[in-house]
Structure 1
Amino acid sequence: MPKKSIGIIIILGGYMKKIIIIEDDLQLIGIYKHEFQKNGFTVIHSETGFDLVGLIKENQPDAVLLDLLVPGIRGLELLAQLQKEGLTEKYPVITYSALATKMVAGKSKKLGAKLHIGKSDYTSQEIVKKVLGVIKGK
């Protein structure tokens, strides 16, 4: 009697989590990509953010990690655009930058970010853990 492939169905039936990362530092994106993939995520990456609204609508990610200091567009303006489109309500956005001031964190939260992280305050692995905590609702 042939064996059934029930195990394969279970494996393929699993949900692959997605994260969109807006980051212009290719070394950092390599680290983040590796860490998130280890945690079961598909990583979608953009160096600017001009296409972020489209990326979110197309991919419906579990979270967005948004560097506020990327070339070509101010991160807070981009966050305001996401809020205006109702995307910060539907998808958790975590902002981060070298600007770890309370003012920047406050503006980010006011515009719908779930968390603001100072890049220089944490290692890349700690940032990934914080993002995972937001996704898990901690």
Structure 2
Amino acid sequence: MSKIAIIEDDPIINQMYRMKFEADGFEVQVADNGRDGVSLVQHMRPDIILLDIKMPEMDGDEALAVIRKHDWGKKPTVLVLTNLGEEEAPKNLRSLGIHSYIVKAELTPTQVVERVKQALAGQ
């Protein structure tokens, strides 16, 4: 069973994606801000991270920079899941080793699950 960490500050979106991924057989844990997301990744050691950008306490790019500094943070595949257009995103995201950039409003949850499965197949 693949493990996925969802780091997203909107509780409705967290719940929606948690239910969708659990229904597809994933082990899911969520964090609602970047600081808690770093701790979640450290303890969970997920295969995939779905990461929002704009969050309280620590934005997604800052959290990912902290995660990637550690051995335990180098392995997870990261998919940025945000409503910011890619041109609005922090410029350092690509250098932090993200797999893909997904605008939430452009894909259904089912399509996001398919993207995650494709990313896992490519690991």
Establish whether residue 80 from structure 1 lines up as the match of residue 80 from structure 2: no
Establish whether residue 110 from structure 1 lines up as the match of residue 95 from structure 2: yes
User: Take 2:59 and 2:11, find their aligned partners in 1: how far apart are those partners?
Assistant: 19
Deviations 1:34-78 (A, max 9, x none): 111111111101111212233222211111111111122121111
Establish whether residue 22 from structure 1 lines up as the match of residue 35 from structure 2: no
TM-score after normalising by structure 1: 0.77
Q: Gapped runs of 5+ residues in structure 2?
A: none
1:133 alignment partner in structure 2: 118
1:7-18 matches, within 5 Å, as 16-18=1-3
Deviations 1:72-115 (A, max 9, x none): 21211111112222455311111121112246286322111111
1:50-69 matches, within 5 Å, as 50-69=35-54
Structure label with greater radius of gyration: 1
Establish whether residue 31 from structure 1 lines up as the match of residue 4 from structure 2: no
Identity, % of aligned pairs? 32
Query: Aligned residues, how many?
Result: 123
1:44 alignment partner in structure 2: 29
User: How far is the alpha carbon of 1:18 from its aligned partner?
Assistant: 1.2
TM-score after normalising by structure 2: 0.85
User: Take 1:95 and 1:86, find their aligned partners in 2: how far apart are those partners?
Assistant: 20
2:82 alignment partner in structure 1: 97
Q: For residues 122 and 107 of structure 1, do their structure 2 counterparts lie closer, same or farther at Cα, with a shift above 3 Å needed? A: farther
Is contact 2:38–2:67 with CA below 8 Å preserved after alignment?
yes
User: Take 1:100 and 1:107, find their aligned partners in 2: how far apart are those partners?
Assistant: 15
* Structure 1 vs Structure 2 CA RMSD: 2.0
User: Take 1:108 and 1:27, find their aligned partners in 2: how far apart are those partners?
Assistant: 25
